[in-house]
């Protein structure tokens, strides 16, 4: 019944089936939206945050989605600036994922602040010294860029494309996309970084504070780097999931391998940098403030050394090496393992850089603070995922997201 909208020649599941699927996920969305309105109308007492935990699950969710959304800008950068042509076959999808991640991030921020109606003060009364100001500006600008990058793909919809104006628009936009890609890359570099800076500049929090270059602490560069490294992994992961769900091959292996390889090298180099940073922090930064590393990983019921090892070795070094190594990279199972580990790794890193910072006592007579999010917090954090699923399904169903789809799914008699 919606066949008129479906890309020419592409096979999609029946409309009722599709609707049911959407309805199920939609229910989750509604749940999240309900929680969202509770927070807006009743205030943040709906959460389990407290004065020790001013930053909590939401900020983590923000950092995490933005990190994994990094695939968009990095792939864009490679595709349009470094002209890695194969990537045109996955760039659309990378952009959609980025769009989802960033729109979610903005939404969560809008819930997270105590006075949403004053949110615009961050622009109007901006404090240039604050990393958060930098985040806000770059984030919203880059979101605009992503939207622009997304539009052509939407306009390529069978019906939209019939309108000559849209047709030309889409065409012309593709032409100038390099400009936006460049802008996007530039903006992303800064807001990914400033998100890292958010933690790094807290010189009252020895667990977070880092020395750095000019006004930017090392976490600034580590965050950008890790986003560029793990972002593509996430793009691959979601592609893999989509392929599994649709039961179709959507992107050619050489493209996958290429992106995996790039991701692998980025991860490995990042993790080396991260290890150096950790060592420097352990042996130079914190001792000068009177702390031993054990202070941050013992005497509490949750945060142990395991979290450090998991983040750096299991979910950092391992996926990195797996993706560098040709055989493991091209083996679908080990590759999947690697990208899953990688995504977990980057999320874990963001977790540590938000929640553990808050948990660690600084005053000698203070105590560890642990917190469990309220259902409202969880619901609003799950909301983006559900919303993402819906958007991806719609995009996949009605837009020519994967240029190689048709070619890869020719009906062949002998197969």
Partner 1 sequence: MSKIENKDENGSMDGAGDGTAGGPKDDKGLGLGIIFFLVAFLICFLSGWLLFPKLLYSKKEQPFNFDHVLHSEEVGDCESCHYLREDGTFSGMPKLESCMECHTDEPMGETEDEAIFAEEYVAKEKEVPWFVYSKQPDCVFFSHGAHINAAGMDCKSCHGPIEESVASRPYEENRITGYSRDIWGKSIWGIKKHSWDRMKMDDCAKCHKQETGHQGYCFQCHK
Partner 2 sequence: MIHDKKAHKFGMVIDLDKCTGCGSCMVSCMSENNVPFKEDESRKKDSITWMRVYKLTNGKSFPDTEVVYMPRPCQHCGGKGDHGHSPCVSVCPATATEYGHDTGIVSQIYTRCFGCRYCMGACPYHARYFNWWDPEWPEGMENYLSPNVSPRMRGVVEKCSFCYHRYQAAKDKAYYEERETIEENEYQTACATACPAGAITFGDLNNPSHKVHQIVKPDPHPDPMNKDVVGKSRNPKIFRLLERLGTNPKVYYLSEREWVRKAGDNYLDGEWDKVKNHHGSSSHE
Partner 3 sequence: MKVDRRSFLGLGLGAVAGVAVSPVGMKLTDDSSIWTQNWPWTPVPVDGEVTYDSSVCSLCPGNCGISVRKIDGRPVKIEGLDGYPINNGGACLHGIAGLQYLYDPTRVKTPLRKNGDKFEKISWKEAISLVSGKLAEIRKSGSPEKLACITDKTQGSVSQLFNHFLTAFGSSNYFDMPSLESFLELTAQTLHGKGKTLGFDLENSDFVLSFGAGLIEGWGSPVNCFKANASRKERHAKLFQIEPRLSNTAANADKWIPINPGTEADLALGICAVMLKKNLFKAGKFKGSFNKFVAMVQKEYSVTKVAETTGIKANEIEKIATLFAKAKMPVAIPGKGRGNGGQSLKEFAAIHTLNCLAGSLNKKGGAFVMAMNEYLSFPKAIMDEVAEKGAGKTKIANSVNELVEKLNGSSKPIVDALFVYNANPCYSLHDPKRVKQAFQKIPFVVSFSSFLDETAMEADVILPSNTFLERIEDMPSQAGLARNVIGLTRPVMDPVFDTRNPGDALISLAHGLEGTIAESFEWESYEECLESVTADVWDSLSEEGYVLVSQGPPKGNPIVDFTYLSANPSTIQAQGDLELMLIPIDNMRLTGTAPMASPFAIKTVSDKVLTGTDIVVEINPMTAKGLKDKGYATLTTPVGSAKVKINFNEGIMPGVLGMVKGLGHTCDNKFVSNKGVNVNDLIGPVIESGSGLDAAFGIRAKISKA
Binding site for partner 3 (CB under 8 A): 115, 117-118, 120-121
**Can you give the three-state secondary structure of the chain, one letter per residue?**
CCHHHCCCCCCCCCHHHHHHHHHHHHHHHHHHHHHHHHHHHHCHHHCCCCCCCCCCHHHHHHHHHHHHCHHHHHHHHHHHHCCCHHHHHHHHHHHHHHHHHHHHHHHHHHHHCCCHHHCCHHHHCCCCCCHHHHHHHHHHHHHHHHHHHHHHHHHCCHHHHHCHHHHHHHHHHHHHHHHHHHHHHHHHHHHHHHHHHHHHCCCCCCCCCCCEECCEEHHHHHHHHHHHHHHHHHHHHHHHHHHHHHCCCCCCHHHHHHHHHHHHHHHHHHHHHHHHHHHHHHHHHCHHHCCCCHHHHCCCCCCCHHHHHHHHHHHHHHHHHHHHCHHHHHCHHHHHHHHHHHHHHHHHHHHHHHHHHHHCCCCCCCCCCCCCCCHHHHHHHHHHHHHHHHHHHHHHHHCCCCCCHHHHCCCCCCC
Nearer to partner 1, 129 or 412 (CB): 129
Minimum CB distance to partner 2, residue 88 (Å): 38
Residue 165 binds which entry of partner 1, partner 2, partner 3, none, CB below 5-8 Å type-dependent: partner 1
Binding positions for partner 2, rule: CB under 8 A: 43-45, 49-55, 112-116, 118-119, 121-122, 125-127, 129-133, 136, 198, 201-206, 287-292, 295, 357-358, 362-366, 369
Pairing of strands 212-213, 216-217: antiparallel
Contact status, residue 63 vs residue 372, Cβ threshold 8 Å: no
Minimum CB distance to partner 1, residue 166 (Å): 10
* Tokens standing for residue 118: 């004053």
Minimum CB distance to partner 1, residue 37 (Å): 21
Nearer to partner 2, 44 or 308 (CB): 44
Nearer to partner 3, 120 or 302 (CB): 120
Residue 384 binds which entry of partner 3, partner 2, partner 1, none, CB below 5-8 Å type-dependent: none
Minimum CB distance to partner 3, residue 119 (Å): 9
Residue 174 binds which entry of partner 3, partner 2, partner 1, none, CB below 5-8 Å type-dependent: none
Q: Which one of the spans 162-170, 179-187, 223-231, 403-411 is the region binding partner 1 (CB under 8 A)?
A: 162-170
Nearer to partner 2, 17 or 118 (CB): 118
Q: Which of 51, 165, 410, 412 binds partner 1 (CB under 8 A)?
A: 165
Site for partner 1 contains 164 (CB under 8 A): yes
Nearer to partner 2, 206 or 373 (CB): 206
Minimum CB distance to partner 1, residue 163 (Å): 8
Nearer to partner 3, 117 or 213 (CB): 117
Nearer to partner 1, 41 or 165 (CB): 165
Nearer to partner 2, 179 or 362 (CB): 362
Nearer to partner 3, 17 or 118 (CB): 118
Minimum CB distance to partner 3, residue 292 (Å): 25
Q: How far apart are CA 350 and CA 48, in angstroms?
A: 19
First and final C-alpha spacing in the chain:
29
Residue 213 binds which entry of partner 1, partner 3, partner 2, none, CB below 5-8 Å type-dependent: none
Minimum CB distance to partner 1, residue 165 (Å): 5
Residue 164 binds which entry of partner 2, partner 3, partner 1, none, CB below 5-8 Å type-dependent: partner 1
Minimum CB distance to partner 3, residue 56 (Å): 21
Size of the site for partner 1 (CB under 8 A): 3
Contact status, residue 359 vs residue 300, Cβ threshold 8 Å: yes
* Tokens standing for residue 347: 């999320």
Give contact residues for partner 1 (rule: CB under 8 A).
164-165, 168
């Amino acid at each position: 019944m919606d066949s008129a909208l479906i890309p020419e020649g592409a096979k999609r599941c029946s409309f009722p089936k599709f609707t049911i699927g959407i309805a199920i996920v939609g229910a989750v969305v509604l749940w999240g939206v309900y929680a969202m309105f509770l927070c807006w109308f009743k205030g943040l007492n709906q959460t389990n945050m407290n004065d020790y935990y001013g930053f909590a699950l939401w900020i983590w969710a923000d950092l995490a989605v933005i990190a994994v959304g990094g695939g968009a800008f990095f792939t864009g950068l490679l595709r349009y600036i470094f002209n890695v042509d194969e990537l045109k076959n996955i760039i659309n999808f990378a952009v959609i994922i980025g769009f989802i991640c960033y729109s979610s991030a903005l939404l969560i921020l809008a819930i997270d602040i105590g006075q949403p109606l004053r949110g615009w003060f961050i622009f109007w009364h901006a404090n240039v010294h604050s990393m958060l100001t930098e985040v806000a500006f770059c984030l919203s600008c880059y979101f605009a860029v992503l939207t622009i990058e997304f539009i052509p793909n939407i306009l390529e919809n069978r019906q939209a494309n019939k309108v000559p104006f849209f047709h030309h628009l889409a065409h012309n936009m593709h032409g100038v996309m390099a400009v936006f890609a460049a802008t996007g890359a530039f903006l992303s570099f800064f807001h990914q970084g400033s998100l890292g800076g958010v933690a790094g500049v807290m010189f009252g929090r020895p667990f977070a504070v880092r020395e750095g270059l000019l006004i930017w602490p090392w976490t600034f560069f580590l965050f950008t780097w890790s986003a560029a490294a793990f972002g593509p992994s996430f793009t691959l992961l979601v592609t893999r999931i989509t392929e599994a769900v649709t039961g179709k091959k959507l992107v050619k292996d050489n493209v996958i391998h290429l992106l995996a390889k790039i991701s692998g090298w980025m991860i490995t180099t990042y993790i080396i940098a991260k290890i150096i940073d950790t060592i420097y922090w352990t042996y130079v930064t914190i001792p000068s403030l009177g702390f031993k590393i054990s202070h941050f990983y013992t005497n509490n019921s949750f945060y142990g050394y395991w979290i450090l090892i998991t983040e750096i070795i299991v979910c950092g070094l391992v996926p990195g090496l797996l993706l560098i190594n040709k055989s493991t990279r091209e083996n679908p199972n080990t590759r999947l393992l690697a990208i899953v580990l990688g995504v977990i790794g980057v999320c874990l890193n963001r977790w540590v850089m938000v929640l553990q910072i808050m948990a660690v006592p600084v005053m000698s007579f203070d105590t560890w603070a642990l917190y469990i999010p309220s259902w409202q917090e969880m619901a609003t954090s799950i909301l983006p995922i559900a919303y993402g699923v819906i958007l991806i399904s719609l995009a996949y169903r009605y837009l020519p997201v994967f240029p190689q789809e048709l070619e890869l799914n020719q009906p062949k008699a002998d197969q």
